[in-house]
Amino acid sequence: MNFADAHRMTSICDDILPSRGSGGVVPGCTIIGLNTVQQSERSVALYTEKVSVLVRRIHAVRPQAAIVAGLSTNPAGGPVTAQELARDILATRQLVSGYWLNVPAPGIGCPSCREPDPQIAVQMFALLAKSLH
């Protein structure tokens, strides 16, 4: 049991892949974020595959962990559309507990980011509202 669990706290961690250190460790957290899937969001098939693999790997070690998949309106590698983000959510919503949305701006954490465009997120939510009703 980790410190947060022992004190009835919620801990949120990023999934740690072998390429990011520690040889593919599943963190002992209440909620685990899938940050690395953001770079795949332009392809619904690739995004779904990556989310599926990571969810299976995490739940094999921490079956009760809540998993949230990352999405970005400004991922590395070029622009993404609201339609692509909405398709990713619709394809994976049965696999995860939720999503976190990144709207990054150029800076230390994202030196190659373009200027943020929050309108992509607004359009994505509008598309999801139409699709889910």
Quick one: which of 129, 80, 83, 121 has its CA closest to 103?
Answer: 121
Question: Taking 60 as the threshold, does the pLDDT of residue 74 lie above it?
Answer: yes
Question: Taking 90 as the threshold, does the pLDDT of residue 41 lie above it?
Answer: yes
- pTM strictly above 0.75: yes
pLDDT, mean of residues 40-55: 95
Domain boundaries, the chain: 3-132
Q: Would you state the structure tokens that stand for residue 49, as one six-digit string?
A: 């595959």
**DSSP conformation class of 110:** B
Considering only residues 37 and 133, tell me which one the structure prediction assigns the higher pLDDT: 37
Quick one: which of 36, 21, 31, 34 has its CA closest to 65?
Answer: 31
* Beta-bridge partners for 14: 33
Task: Return the C-alpha torsion angle 81, 74, 56, 66, nearest 10.
Answer: -110
Element at 101 (helix H, strand E): strand 98-102
**Rounded Cα gap, residues 33 and 56, in angstroms:** 14
**Rounded Cα gap, residues 93 and 51, in angstroms:** 10
